[in-house]
């Protein structure tokens, strides 16, 4: 009887595997992804940047997407309805580069990009992988001789 109880306890006891043999959790991908941005202008003045963006869209035959407005503490923000519709409190701003790569004109807040000179409204005409953005540089330089590409890491992780 004692042997039966001992065997039952042995069978019920948890099995402890060698920790070195246990699978390790897979590494999570880096939420920061390097993107390239083709800039044609920068200004501390919103009206100047907005005007330059309109001119760039016309001169380069590109769509313009300026869906933000200046904000005194955040630099730029979407309007209150857009913030609420996306689950954010106003003010809210998500800088270009998360899921909107391509060739179009926008005005962005430089402080949102690591390594950019802070406090400027920047006019961006293309964003995405560097090789793709470089294809658009010659056309931009025909109109804006000092157009250039700047790279920054963009957060691609969850924002809620």
Q: What is the pLDDT of residue 27?
A: 74
Both tokens of 145, joined, read 């001789």
Every domain of the chain and the residues it spans: 32-155
Query: Do residues 67 and 81 make contact, with C-beta atoms less than 8 angstroms apart?
Result: no
Tell me: pLDDT of 14 over 90.
no
Q: What confidence tens digit (pLDDT) does each residue in 73-119 have? A: 999 999 999 999 999 999 999 999 988 899 999 999 999 999 999 99
* Residue 37 to residue 16: CA distance in whole angstroms: 53
Q: Between the CA of residue 93 and those of 16, 42, 83, 88, 119, what are the distances in Å? A: 50, 18, 8, 9, 14
User: What is the average per-residue pLDDT within 18-39?
Assistant: 76
Bridge partners (DSSP) listed for residue 150: 37
pLDDT tens digit sequence for 30-86: 888 899 999 999 999 999 999 999 999 999 999 999 999 999 999 999 999 999 999
What's the residue count for the chain? 160
């Amino acid at each position: 009887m004692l042997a039966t109880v001992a065997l039952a306890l042995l069978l019920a006891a948890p099995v402890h595997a060698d920790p070195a043999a246990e699978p390790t959790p897979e590494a999570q991908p880096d939420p920061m992804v390097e993107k390239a941005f083709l800039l044609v202008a920068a200004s501390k003045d919103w009206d100047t940047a907005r005007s330059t963006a309109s001119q760039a869209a016309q001169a380069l035959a590109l769509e313009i997407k300026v869906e933000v407005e200046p904000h005194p503490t955040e630099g730029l923000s979407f309007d209150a309805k857009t913030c609420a519709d996306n689950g954010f409190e106003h003010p809210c701003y998500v800088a270009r580069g998360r899921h909107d790569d391509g060739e179009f004109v926008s005005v962005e807040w430089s402080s949102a990009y690591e390594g950019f000179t802070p406090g400027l409204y920047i006019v961006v005409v293309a964003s995405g992988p560097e090789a793709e953005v470089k294809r658009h540089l010659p056309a931009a330089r025909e109109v804006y001789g000092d157009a250039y590409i700047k790279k920054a890491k963009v957060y691609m992780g969850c924002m809620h």
